[in-house]
Homo-oligomer: A and B are copies of this chain.
Amino acid sequence: MAASRDPAQLVEALRGGDRGALARALSLVERGGQPARDVGALAWPLGGTSYTVGVTGAPGAGKSTLTSRLITTIRAAETEVAVLAIDPSSPFSGGAILGDRVRMQDHALDAGVFIRSTATRGHLGGLALSTPQSLRVLDAAGFPWVVVETVGVGQVEVEVAAAADTTVVVVNPGWGDSVQANKAGLLEIADVFVINKADRPGVAEARSDLRTMLELSNLDHDAWLPPIVATVAETGEGVDELWAAIGEHRARLEGDGGLSERRSARLVDELRQIVVHSLEDRAYGLTTGEGFDGLVAEVEARRLDPYAAAAKIIAE
């Protein structure tokens, strides 16, 4: 089959298991614009069966190695899995720079695993808008499990990580790491904590730090207390426990209606962001042309402050 770029043909082909078509559909989605919306609109009615797991944490926490091990565990259940890596520090993103990380590319030989990397670059809001569309396409392609790996630094990235069914936050042993996770807003979004590199000293302290901070932050989390799993991703130690913890969280969400609530809230968020993005385009129209240039000159002369200028633009 020729490498079609027609959204309808692509969606039909990716439904049939054509991985090339899937990759091309994802490229369209990432690029934005009308073709992206067409792909998303075609994929939407076909989805609803994927369960998404977000894996996030600071660069160097071992997210990719852990994700790789998780893939192995998921595959052992003979279930297909897709990975969406939106982490500039991830070896999945084309940067397998250390010898010991290259083995993660092994999954590339497994037809039951699909790995997609996205750069974190792009316009403001780009990642927040394209990620749900990408997940929609992977959902339509029939993957029962989708793992989204994002770096847990940065406003948009943390929000994207939080927009999963189960969000796994990875920290390392040692005083300070969990404090930084707290500062970056990761504590609030965690459904499951992983203390990775647990062969290093400080696991007990990290565990007690996390517990203390959870208590202090007095989070509700629908009364779900995020379990804390110790892993050594390099050897695979603890990954079965992580998989079990994800399963427990999923069972809990499915049991008490939390899953549909969560997905509904996510959809509302997305709708708001789409509306904002459309209005942004309008804002771009409002902030070009002669009248706008005159206003900028007024601001530059410090006769008008930027917010007063913006109010004038909107009033018009």
| Chain A interface (Cβ < 8 Å from any Cβ of B) | 37, 40-41, 44-45, 47-48, 58-60, 88-89, 93-95, 97-98, 119-122, 124-128, 132, 151, 153-157, 159, 175-176, 179-180, 183-185, 264, 267-268, 270-276, 278-280, 282-284, 286-287, 295-296, 299-300, 302-303, 305-311, 313-314
What residues of chain B lie closer than 8 Å to A60, measured between beta carbons?
59-60
What residues of chain B lie closer than 8 Å to A286, measured between beta carbons?
275
Partner of A154, one of B155, B271, B282, B299: B155
What residues of chain B lie closer than 8 Å to A311, measured between beta carbons?
278
What residues of chain B lie closer than 8 Å to A274, measured between beta carbons?
306-307, 310
Which B residue's beta carbon lies closest to that of A153?
A: B153
Contact at B308–A41, with CB atoms within 8 Å?
A: yes
Which B residue's beta carbon lies closest to that of A45?
A: B302
What residues of chain B lie closer than 8 Å to A179, measured between beta carbons?
95, 97
Contact at B153–A155, with CB atoms within 8 Å?
A: no
Known A179-B97, A183-B93, A302-B45; judge A275-B267 contact (CB<8 A): no
Contact at A121–B310, with CB atoms within 8 Å?
A: no
Determine chain A's interface SS by DSSP, over half rule.
helix
A48, A155, A175, most chain B CB atoms within 10 A: A155
What residues of chain B lie closer than 8 Å to A268, measured between beta carbons?
287, 296
What residues of chain B lie closer than 8 Å to A309, measured between beta carbons?
271
Known A155-B122, A155-B157, A179-B97; judge A271-B41 contact (CB<8 A): no
What residues of chain B lie closer than 8 Å to A272, measured between beta carbons?
283-284, 287
Q: How far is the CA of A167 from the CA of B273 in the complex (A)?
A: 30
Q: How far is the CA of A155 from the CA of B153 in the complex (A)?
A: 10
Q: How far is the CA of A88 from the CA of B89 in the complex (A)?
A: 17
Contact at A89–B180, with CB atoms within 8 Å?
A: yes
Contact at B176–A98, with CB atoms within 8 Å?
A: yes
Contact at B279–A314, with CB atoms within 8 Å?
A: yes
Q: How far is the CA of A75 from the CA of B296 in the complex (A)?
A: 35
Q: How far is the CA of A29 from the CA of B164 in the complex (A)?
A: 32
For the complex of A and B, list the 6 residue pairs with the smallest distance between their C-beta atoms, beginning with the closest: A154-B154, A274-B310, A97-B176, A279-B279, A41-B305, A44-B305
What residues of chain B lie closer than 8 Å to A93, measured between beta carbons?
183
Contact at A271–B313, with CB atoms within 8 Å?
A: yes
